Amino acid sequence: MKQVIRTLRPGEEMRHLELLNKCFGWWGGVDRWNRKYKEPGFDITRNVFVVEINGEWAGGRTLWFREAVLKNGARVLVSIAGDAYVLPEHRGKGIYSTLVRAFKKISKERGAVFNISFNAPLSVPGKALPKYGFVPLFVPSAILILNPSRYLNVTLNALEGSLIGREFEGLRLRIMVYSRDGVKISRSFLVKGGSLKSTREEPPYNVCVICSLEAFFRIYEFMVTKNRRLLALLIGDLLLGRLKVRLDMRAITAVVSWLWRR
C-alpha cells in the first residue's frame, strides 16, 4: 500500500468539494468553498492536501495560516488545520494519522509556532487529536432558547443513535426535560446494538431521568468537558431536585459494570 501526500492541482477544486460533501454528509456549497478557500493569501496549490493510496484519491485536509497576537503585542504565525476527510472505503488505514503528523511537520517548516484545529466536541478528531500532542481548549458558548418546545423535540430526537456502552444493552430509558415556561418533553429509548433507539414502550423503565433544561445542558457539557465545576453544579441539581435519576437493579448492575471496565 503506497501512501502519497500531494497538494491540490488547479482544476481539482470541484472534485475536492464533491468529496467533502460525500464524507461530511453535507459540508456546504460553492459559496462556503469560496469563503474558506479563496481568502486573501490562500493558495490551493500550497495549502490543500490530498492523500493517495496506490494512486487513488483517499482523503484530504487543508491548512490555513494566520498571525496570532500575543499579550505583549508580538505576532507569531499559527497554522489551522481543518476540513479533514477520508473516503469511506479507505477508513481504518491510518490516513488521518498520516495527515495529522504531516501537517505538524509542514506547519513547523513554514514557520508556525502552533498547530490549531477546531472541532465539534463529540467528533472523531475530537477524540483522536489528544493522541498526537494536541491539548483541548473548550470554546465557551451560550444559547438562548426562544422556542423551548421545538428545541427540545429536535434535541431529544437527535439522541437517537447516540453510542452508549454495550453494558447497557436491552435497558429501557426515559428522559423528560422541562423548561421554566412549563414545556415538558419526554422520549423513551431502548439500548440496542450499543446505541439508543427511539421506542414507544410503556413503563416500567430501567432508567428514568427527569431534569430541567438547565440541568440537561449541564449533563451534556459535563459529558464533553468532565469539568469539576459542572460536577458540583450537577450534584447541586440533584440535591435541589432539578435533576432526578431513578435506576432499577438491572440498571445499577450495568452502571457498576461500565465503571469497572473504565
Residues 56-115 that bind another protein (CB under 8 A): 64, 66-76, 78-80, 82, 104, 107-108, 111-115
* Contact stretch for another protein (CB under 8 A) within 19-27, 129-137, 189-197, 249-257: 129-137
Q: Does the protein bind another protein through residue 182 (CB under 8 A)?
A: no
Nearer to another protein, 136 or 236 (CB): 136
Closer to another protein by Cβ: residue 131 or 200: 131
Least Å distance between CB 25 and another protein?
12
Torsion sign over Cα 219, 223, 225, 230: positive
Q: Which of 146, 239, 249, 259 binds another protein (CB under 8 A)?
A: 146
Q: In the window 22-61, what residues touch another protein (CB under 8 A)?
A: 28-29, 31-32, 34-36, 38-40
SS3 171: coil
Instruction: Tell the residue number behind the cell numbers 465557551, with chain if given.
Output: 140
Q: Per-residue x/- marks for another protein, 147-176, CB under 8 A?
A: x--xx-xx----------------------
The contacts of residue 65 (CB under 8 Å, 6+ apart) are: 41, 47, 77, 78, 79, 80, 110, 112
C-alpha grid cell, residue 260: 469497572
Considering only CA atoms, which of 189, 160, 185 is closest in space to residue 173?
189
Q: Quick one: 66 or 250, whose CB is closer to another protein? A: 66
Tell me the per-residue interface mask from 186 to 205 with another protein, x by CB under 8 A, - otherwise. --------------------
Nearer to another protein, 40 or 203 (CB): 40
Least CB distance from residue 250 to another protein, whole Å?
31
Closest approach, Cβ 157 to another protein, in A, equals 9
> Going edge to edge, which strands form the sheet with 184-192?
195-198, 184-192, 172-178, 207-212, 243-247
Site of grid cell 489528544: 130
Helix or strand or coil: residue 134?
Answer: coil
Residue 223 DSSP label: H
> Number of residues in contact with another protein, rule: CB under 8 A?
72
> Least distance in Å: CB of 193 to another protein?
24
For 46, 60, 87, 186, the CA distances from 96, given in Å and listed in that order, are: 19, 9, 11, 39
Work out how close the CB of 254 gets to another protein at its nearest, in angstroms, rounded to a whole number: 26
Q: Contact region for another protein (CB under 8 A) — 12-20, 53-61, 170-178, 218-226?
A: 218-226
> Closest separation between CB of residue 71 and another protein, Å?
5
C-alpha 207/C-alpha 188 separation (Å) is: 10
Single residue of 98, 117, 188, 206 touching another protein by CB under 8 A = 117
223 phi/psi in degrees, rounded to 5: -60, -35
The 8-class DSSP code of residue 169 comes to T
